[in-house]
Chain A
Amino acid sequence: MPLSLYYYLAITAVNILMSWAIYLPYRVAHLHFITIANMTISGYLSGYLVMNLNMPFFWALLIGFAAGGIIGYIVSLFIGDAPTFAVVIVGFTFIYITRTVVENMPIIGGTMGMFGLPNIGGKPATHRYVILGILWALVVVVGFLIHRFDNSRLGKAASAVFVDKDLATSLGVDIKKLGQTLQVFSCIIAGGAGVLYGFIYKSFHLDFFTFHLVGIFMTTIFVGGYSTLWGTVLAAPILYGLPLLFPAEVQSWRIVIYGVILILVLMLKPEGFITRKFVHSIGIALSRKREKL
């Protein structure tokens, strides 16, 4: 498999997972950027476990998921029902604190980063197939779970919270519990995605986990459509792939391009390209076709 195709498929999968990690809490109007700090923490933790303690990769991956979930749970106890802007600033603050801590810890490479992570399965080619296999299996599993959630009573409760918190409360929705559940699940996804993100490059560096990730994931969600999971599936491969078609000079303006696209979409298609109504109409069309058959 060509290296460029491997990176394209792998990073696209990470972008889908991470955008979903932000999409889920956004169902109750929480922009939960702590997920990016979770990527960093779980990533570096797994790297340390594999490099220094010779722990098998799969155990390190599981610990990465768990670390994300534990941090997400502790923080959600405080911000499970906080206003959106408070959740945003908690996320940014966590990113800052995490970066400072990593910078000042020589044991995990500090500002130099952590290089030379081992291949999973011995050979570089096997490593690539294993990483891609895990990533896309996760995309399928997480996508299925989110699909089930979206169509469940909880999903409908989340939609009610998004539209009107007071109305949702009067309908009996426990806003805090719902917010906490979504935040924890999103942090678990982010923890695992962080581990895999580093293992794609077989290294961890603070430059991997900067604020530009916020821009990429936010653009993916808002351009694709923030009201269904399918928007992300459509937007992630296009937004990551599109700049790759242009010369290197244009590619370096990627964040500006994303910013402009995001502004235009917010102005012209506020709900993004794939709306819930659109998904619903496709569902009806498909069921009619099935009935005819």
Chain B
Amino acid sequence: MQEFLAQIINGLSLGSIYVLLATGFNLLLLVALIIHFSYPQVVVFSMYIVWLVLNATGNNLFMGIAAGVLSSIALNVFCAPIFQKVMKNRGEVDVNATMVLSMAIGFIITDVLSHSFNRGLPIAFPETLTGSGPLFRIGLISIQAGQVWSLVVGVIAVSAFFILLYKTRAGRAFRAIAEDPAGARLVGIPLLKTGIQSYALSGIMGGVTAVLIAMLLHSASPGLGESIAHKVLAVSIVAGLGNLVGGLVVGLALGILEAVVQGYVSGTWSNAIAFVVMLVVILWKPKGLFGIKV
């Protein structure tokens, strides 16, 4: 029972990461109308920047975290005009073209990371960021700082995002574009400006997620972005593309499923089992459990 509880706690912290990623991904899909498949690769890039700055500044946490968040915003906003140009070329909203473009960006990020940082070897984050040991231990249950932070910050970040989306003027603009871009333009909402704001906002979420993943996993490798990207896209599809509440439920469920499977099955198979479950759901309901919102 204790082991099961420990895995549930692991799953909740892992799930909160998936929720953050799926929320940032869905925000871009709803407002900027792009499938930013490589959004998790941008997050992993930010993790590398955090590592680089921590190493360069003698583990200055503030500088490291700030650099991670800023790099994520910068990379996201830098991609914005490229996405806009491709969409303009197509003459209409073509989410498939943006997905191909995003994949290309992802290939570049992954390859650059595997060539230019730590000679392609995995990186390990210092204890200043990850914490030196478990915060507390009850029998088999040991709670790490990363788990607590990812759960707490995950809940705060997603709550803040939902408040922004449903209680503020900017949020109304985001939702109006998601509901009907042409109608939103008619009532005077600037599509481009709001779109860029969504890139920046998802950049902030990406930067925060990068720091949390670093705290949770203690390490990163160039291939990490690809594997998370597939899971985030799978979460979003299983939930229903653009469905924020669905993403929240499915993200948490995937985290718990993965953690529970890892507790009882050999490591190499656990990922595959999570993917098989996702695959079955996608094959059964290609439009998602909670319905597509785009």
Contacts and interface: CB of A to CB of B under 8 A. Distances in A.
A58 interface: no
B275 A258 contact: no
B268 interface: yes
B137 interface: no
B225 to A, nearest CB: 11
Interface in B258-281: 268-269, 271-272, 275-276, 278-279
Contact of A85 (B35, B90, B107): B35
A103 B282 contact: no
Contact of B100 (A75, A90, A212, A266): A266
A101 B275 CA distance: 12
A83 B287 contact: yes
A87 B185 CA distance: 32
Contacts of A90: 279, 282-283
Contacts of A85: 35, 95-96, 99, 233, 237, 241
- Secondary structure at chain B's binding surface: helix, strand, loop or mixed? helix
B96 A29 contact: yes
Given A29-B96, A270-B86, A89 B108 contact: no
Contacts, number: 120
Interface string B113-146: 0010000000000000000000000000000000
A60 interface: no
B217 interface: no
Contact of B282 (A86, A104, A256): A86
A92 B235 CA distance: 13
A190 B27 CA distance: 36
A184 B142 CA distance: 50
B143 to A, nearest CB: 30
Interface in A111-160: none
A214 B104 contact: no
B181 interface: no
A31 B96 contact: yes
Contacts of B57: none
A104 B241 CA distance: 33
Interface of B: 35, 37, 82, 85-86, 89-90, 95-97, 99-101, 103-105, 107-108, 110-112, 115, 226-227, 230, 233-234, 237, 241, 268-269, 271-272, 275-276, 278-279, 282-284, 286-287, 292
Given A88-B99, A103-B268, 15 more contacts: A31-B100, A78-B284, A85-B233, A89-B230, A90-B279, A90-B283, A93-B282, A96-B271, A97-B275, A101-B272, A215-B107, A259-B107, A259-B108, A266-B104, A267-B86
